[in-house]
Amino acid sequence: MRQIHRILLQTTIPHDEDDWHIGRFALLRDHLAALCGDDGLPLFEVTARDRDPVGAPDSVLSRLDSSPFDELWLFAVDTGEGLTAADCQAIGRFRRRGGGLLVARDHMDLGSSVCTLGGVGAAHFFHTKNPDPDPSRRKVDDTITTNILWPNYHSGANGDFQLIEPSLPLHPVLTDPDSQSGAIHFFPSHPHEGAVGKPEHDPTARVIATGTSKLSGRPFNLVVAFEPTSEVGPAIAESTFHHFSDYNWDPSRGSPSFVSEAPGDGLARSPEAQRSVRRYVTNLALWLAGIPLVPVRAAS
């Protein structure tokens, strides 16, 4: 019997009903768990959890390298204290044993605990930690939600979608055989995305997709991919966890009370954009597991 790959979806905060807890990524969890191979059997076993209380190493992350997981999708929704040194060290060992890693954060300093992650952490630029090396980008982009400072690229309303520009050569996670161009062109949008970029001295990393601010017209990076080597597994740095949250896929699922912007309904009205988003996360799961990106289907 073939191997079933194990994915851990985890936030960097303890459970809080009025925050971005792991239950707000249920549509992603269900999609990944429903993916099947040609034999009709599931490709992935998905575990979804929030971190343990802050102040001590997380019971799972701090032992990730000795766990059965093949992939970690880390949603950094903390304000700076979501990962301990022990957590980061174990995640580093996990990647060195070949584990696949996705790290997504958000605007300003949200998720800034990921700065201490080796390799992938350097791809994330925040307001007060590891700021964008380009000084011209250290400025407000989203001028509507005025209490959020840079980085805060405005790609559209939650619930709408954005047109992205895949970088060439086209990366496998952005391929789409059902698209006329052969590439994925739609992501969920968000009023204030964070900033990511290629770490200067990492030859395995490159920006693979960019977006364009709907307010300033300025292009910005959406995804940085780290190719696997004989020493480390594959990794992805995402500008925002909102590419994966229920609220951005379907605003009727609700959001924390502190979300003030009115949602859109563009994604709900576009079957093509919905299909593109789901194809992208399917590609991510396959690529991070080292599985060839062959057609897969959802369980009926």
What residues have CB less than 8 Å from 212, skipping those under 6 apart? Answer: 155, 162, 163, 165, 218, 219, 220
Task: Fill in the DSSP letter of residue 100.
Answer: E
Task: Fill in the DSSP letter of residue 62.
Answer: G
pLDDT for position 164: 98
pLDDT for position 292: 86
pLDDT in tens, 127-185: 999 999 999 999 999 999 999 999 999 999 999 999 999 999 999 999 999 999 999 99
**Residues linked to residue 223 through DSSP beta bridges, in sequence order:** 209, 238
pLDDT for position 62: 98
CA dihedral 188, 265, 106, 201 (to 10 degrees): 20
Query: Which residues in the chain come in under a pLDDT of 50?
Result: none
User: What CATH number belongs to 5-298?
Assistant: 3.40.50.880
Cα separation of 260 and 243, whole Å? 18
Cα separation of 154 and 145, whole Å? 10
Cα separation of 131 and 137, whole Å? 9
pLDDT for position 263: 98
The whole-model pTM stands at: 0.97
